[in-house]
Every structure is written in structure tokens, then in C-alpha cells.
Amino acid sequence: MVIKTIDAAAVQRCFLAGASALDAKKEMINDLNVFPVPDGDTGTNMTMTIMAAAREAAAMEEPDMKQLCKAISGGSLRGARGNSGVILSQLLRGFTKEIVKVEKADVSVLAAAFDRAVESAYKAVMKPKEGTILTVARAGAEKAMEQAERTDNLLEFMNAVILHMRDVLDQTPEMLPVLKQAGVVDSGGEGLVTIMEGAYDAILGKEVSYEIEPDKTRMAVGELERRGDTGAVTEADIKFGYCTEFIVMLDKDFSHDEERKFKSYLESIGDSIVCVADDDIVKIHVHTNDPGLAIQKGLSYGSLTSMKIDNMREEHNERVIRVSDRKEAAQREEEEKAAERRGAVLEPIRYETAVESTSAGTTAMVADPTKNTDSYGGDKTQKKKYAFISVSVGEGLSRIFTDLGVDAVIEGGQTMNPSTQDILHAVESLNAENVFVLPNNSNIILAAEQAGELTKDKNVIVLPTKNIPQGIAALLGYVEEASPEDNTDAMKEAFAAVKSGQVTYAVRDTTLDGKEIKAGDIMGLSDKTIETVGTDITAVTIDLVRKMIDEDSELVTIYYGEEGTEEEAEKIAAALTESDAELEVDIQHGGQPVYYYFVSVE
């Protein structure tokens, strides 16, 4: 069979088939995580990234190349999660910038698109490493350019490119020693090849899935399921009742001045405004009592798509009942356990606080919804010089960040990285000239930087904090009177001086750094490596901290997780101070899942 060109409809089928193939293999890709910790999420992040674009692409009945490329590029860019997701979004963005130029793509166009994709992705990464998804992508682009000189048959072309990418993927353990130690290939590279193989099956005419699940995890800025003290909020407290979202497909110029005018109009009819422009589309979110006014204004700039209107008063009432029932059941279970220990029987305790996660686990916190604040607790009436956004995980840690002056806490972190869109929502909702973003996870930094690049009316400064203790240390280095540049330097210096560690369990057997690890073992990890392995959580934590401290160490902070207790943390503190009387140990409730303890040494 010979196929020399593919049109927009064929590209759409290939893209949807690739997305479905990735979705089917995401758990296997997650298992390729180098460290055997329970938060390997490359497959999940790449899937959620591509699905954000696939939903938009699938909604098009008769797409042309321009519309399709907008959906793929814009959807993946906003939906990008984790480093692998951001790199994938940049690959797709670069690819579409080439094929958008034609109505039908041949091998020469596709080769140029592969090359443009790799160029775009490499620009997004500060220090590219060999043996990663970038290496696999570059290998595909090089083979594509070579094959474009040899054949005009797309089937031969794609087959040769994919076989070469798979071959290079198999070699990644020889390029990255850590992959070889773990006995795995690069997970991001595996995800990329999986997408390519799914797309190729569609070209071959194989029976593949084009079904794309609807987004059940949408995050609407300012909704009252935000984490915080919302139990006292009633239907009457919701000033603007309809959460209105849509995308404008621009048919005329949308300058910075027009963007400001659009935002100003939306502010006149509602609150929780998000207006994000990306190439030829504009994403709109507003809470208003008259959705028709927002829609009418949007139509003045172009056609509309992805429209959604929710009655928040109705949803709030249902959510309070549902969440309150869950909280009551959980609290009752905890109290019954405590009662068994004390030999007493307690009456049920009623809790009215409404807590609901959004965006597959990413939730933003508000201060007091009854005050004159925006959806993240920022003052709407006065523009601040500085505002702070922090990614967190766990009730206790989120409260610590709030107490330190953070305006918006996005819950995500390990196991569920927030998307570029989630961070964009937070940035756009804060009324400040300068917004510091603390990712607190190395896998969220690229998404935060991408959100900053998409923000046009604020100075967004992403501090590359890789864990929770670094984020806390950075905030302690902030000086209100200092300039943005001086604060950036001071906060970087503050978190660089902190040693961080974490304690969790192994999800599989492996050998790393000379240590034999069995599934279920307890591991103590420092910033650099797995320091200690054992079977007792307390013993491993003590050993980890002792390996982290030196003669200059003065303070150890222990953040115990949702499976830990203050009593156990105190045992650890006692053991540490017994061997070093001058060492100060502070205990904080973190409430984080997955990790028994976070620790910091200063």
C-alpha cells in the first residue's frame, strides 16, 4: 500500500489514535520510573497533557488543518503536566507550526515538522540530558529527514522513523547510568514512541480506538469547592452564580490593548477572571450573573468553542451535602479507632467544612470567601507589589504556606502534578505586579515556567524549588521592601542552603546506588540519592537525618505525613537530640500522602 499525503481528517485520526494508545499504556510507562517510589507519574502526566488537546481535536467533525493545529497546540500547551508533559506539549506545538502551512502533508512536510518539534522542545529545557525523551525525539527527526530523501511513501517513512526511535529508546540505559541501574528505558521516550505507534496503526487502517473520555477533572477558578474554611459559606454568599468558560477562535487581531479591554469588560460583569491568549485563540473564564453578556462580547472577537456554563449555587448545595457526608464518615472512623484505644464510645461529630478536589487532585485555597477578595484570597481592590503561589500537598503543609503569606496554594505535588492551566488560573486571579511561583517539585518547574511565559500582564518569577522544605525556606528569605531582583536572589540563596529528605516505601524490587531494594521496603531519600533502606519507618528516618547532618547543622524540621503521628515524630526527635544535645528539632504536621516524613536540615 502506498500513501503519499494525509489531510486534516487523517491527521486527526492519527492524533486521536496516538492519544488512545498512550492512555492504554500509561500505567506501564509509570512503572518505568527510575526510583521505585509510589509517585512515578510520567505516563499519567503525558496522557493528561495529550488528552487536553485530544478532547478539543475530537470535538471537530470536519476539521481543516488550521483548526486542528490550534486545538492540538493550544490544548496540549494549557494541559501540560510535569516535565514530560511540558516537553510533549512543545513537541506538538513545534510539529503543528509546520503542518499548519499545508492542506495535505507529505513526507517532506512531516520531516520538517519533526525537526521543528525537536527544536521547540529543546528550547524548553535548560540543560538537556542524553538518554531522555529529547534524545528519542531527536533521533526520530534525524531519521525523518533522512527518509524524506529516500521515499515518498508515508508508510515506509513512518515505519522507518518509529523503528529507529524504538532502537534509540532501547539504548537509553547506556546513555543514562541511572536508567541502567534501575533496568529500565526512559519513560518519557517510551511514551513518545507509544504515541507514534498508535498514529502509525491509524495510517495502516488498523482497528484502533478514537474514543476520548470527557474531562471529569476540570478546574474552575474560584469555585467554592476550594480547600479552606468554606463551611460557613451559603448559597447567598455566591455573588455571581454562573461559572462561564469558552474559547474564542480569533478572526481579527487581539493586541495587548484589546486583551486589557476584554478583561476590563469581564470585570464589570463578574469576577474570577481568566483571559489567556495563545496565538489565535483566547481562553475565557468568568463568574457572572449573565453569561450571555460574556458570550456576546466573546463573539465580537471571533467564533466560540468549548463553551460551558455551570450553576454554582446549585452545585455548591450538592457539594456541601456530598462532602460533608464523606468528612463525617472519615471522622467517625477515626474517632471509633481512638475510642477503642480508650475503651470509650463517642457520639458522631458533625463537620460542615466543604472540601472537594478539582483538576485530578489540584485544588486552590481561598482565605475567607466572605471578604472582598479574588478567587484565591487576593484583594481585588488594590494591586499588590508581590503575590505568592505555592504548590503543596497535605493539609498541614498548605496551612504552613498560607501562614507564611502565600496567596494561592495549588495542591498537587507528587502523584498529581498541576497543569500549566492550573498555574495560569492562579496567576491570572491574583492582583499583583510581581508573582512568585514555588513549584516545590522538580517535575512541576517546567509547567510553572510555561505558565509564566503565557502571562502577559504580570511579572511571573518561578523559583526552581524542588521540594517542600525548599519552598518554605524560600519564603523565609523574602523581604517586602526589596526589589524583585533582590528578592529572587535572596530567596534562591535561602532555599539553596537547606538540605532536604523524604521517607517513603518502595513499589518494586530494584538495585540502585549499590542498595538492594525490595517492594515494601522503607527508603530514606536525600536531595541526591537513596541514603538508607530498611523495614522500620522510624529507624530509617533517624538514619536518614543522621546522614544529612554535619558539624554545622543546627536545626532539623520534621513534617509528618497523613500516615504518621506526632508521637512517632517525637521519638525520632528524641533519638536525634540524645546523640546531639545542641541540635534543635522542630516537629510540624504536614499531612502529605505517600511520604511518611519530609525533613529539612539547616
Per residue in 38-78, pLDDT (tens digit) is 666 889 889 999 999 999 999 998 899 999 999 999 999 88
> How far apart, in whole angstroms, are the C-alpha atoms of residue 74 and residue 59?
14
Q: Do the bridges between strand 432-438 and strand 384-392 make them parallel or antiparallel, or are there none, so unpaired?
A: parallel
Query: Mind listing the pLDDT tens digit for each residue in 111-163?
Result: 999 999 999 999 888 788 899 999 999 999 999 999 999 999 999 999 999 99
- The residues, any chain, with a CB within 8 Å of residue 484's CB and separated by 6 or more, are 386, 434, 459, 461
pLDDT exceeds 50 at position 591: yes
3-state secondary structure 3-66: CCCEEHHHHHHHHHHHHHHHHHHHHHHHCCCCCCCCCCCHHHHHHHHHHHHHHHHHCCCCCCHH
pLDDT exceeds 90 at position 276: no
- The residues, any chain, with a CB within 8 Å of residue 207's CB and separated by 6 or more, are none
What are φ and ψ of residue 312, in 5° steps? -70, -30
Query: Which segment of 172-181, 504-513, 545-554 scores lowest on mean pLDDT?
Result: 504-513
Q: Are 380 and 336 in contact (CB under 8 A)?
A: no
Q: In sequence order, what are the beta bridge partners of 589?
A: 560
pTM of the complete model: 0.69
The rounded mean pLDDT for the chain is 83
What are φ and ψ of residue 105, in 5° steps? -105, 135
> How far apart, in whole angstroms, are the C-alpha atoms of residue 475 and residue 460?
16
Provide the pLDDT for residue 381.
Answer: 57
Helices (H), 176-276: 177-182, 187-204, 256-269
Provide the pLDDT for residue 288.
Answer: 87
pLDDT exceeds 50 at position 352: no
CA dihedral of 113, 83, 423, 562, whole degrees rounded to 10: 150
Residues 167-203 as b or e (16 or more Cβ within 10 Å = b): ebbebbbeebeebeebebbbbbbbbbbbbbbbbbbbb
pLDDT exceeds 80 at position 343: no
Strand, coil or helix: 560: strand
Q: What are the CA-CA distances from residue 574 to residues 148, 470, 502, 503, 581 (Å)?
A: 68, 24, 19, 18, 10
**At 83, is the pLDDT very low, low, confident or very high (cuts 50, 70, 90)?**
confident
pLDDT exceeds 50 at position 359: no
Strand, coil or helix: 294: helix
> How far apart, in whole angstroms, are the C-alpha atoms of residue 457 and residue 96?
27
Query: Mind listing the pLDDT tens digit for each residue in 164-189?
Result: 999 999 999 999 988 888 888 999 99
Query: Which segment of 107-116, 309-318, 471-480 scores lowest on mean pLDDT?
Result: 309-318
Q: How many CA atoms lie within 13 A of 483 on its CB side?
A: 2
The number of helices, as runs of H, and strands, as runs of E, in the chain is: 19, 19
**At 314, is the pLDDT very low, low, confident or very high (cuts 50, 70, 90)?**
low
Q: How many CA atoms lie within 13 A of 161 on its CB side?
A: 33
pLDDT exceeds 50 at position 304: yes
Range of 277-286, 334-343, 517-526 with top mean pLDDT:
517-526
Query: Mind listing the pLDDT tens digit for each residue in 17-42?
Result: 999 999 999 989 988 877 777 666 88
> How far apart, in whole angstroms, are the C-alpha atoms of residue 240 and residue 270?
6
Provide the pLDDT for residue 173.
Answer: 93
pLDDT exceeds 90 at position 488: yes
Which segments within 236-319 are labelled E, that is strand?
Answer: 242-250, 270-278, 281-288, 302-311
> What DSSP string runs through 350-387?
--------BGGGBEEB-S-TTSSB-TTS-BSSS-EEEE
Residue 434's Cβ-count burial label (10 Å; 0-12, 13-18, 19+) is: middle
Provide the pLDDT for residue 512.
Answer: 79
Provide the pLDDT for residue 387.
Answer: 95
Q: Are 365 and 425 in contact (CB under 8 A)?
A: no
Residue 71's Cβ-count burial label (10 Å; 0-12, 13-18, 19+) is: buried
Residue 531 corresponds to which amino acid?
E
**At 221, is the pLDDT very low, low, confident or very high (cuts 50, 70, 90)?**
very low
Provide the pLDDT for residue 433.
Answer: 94
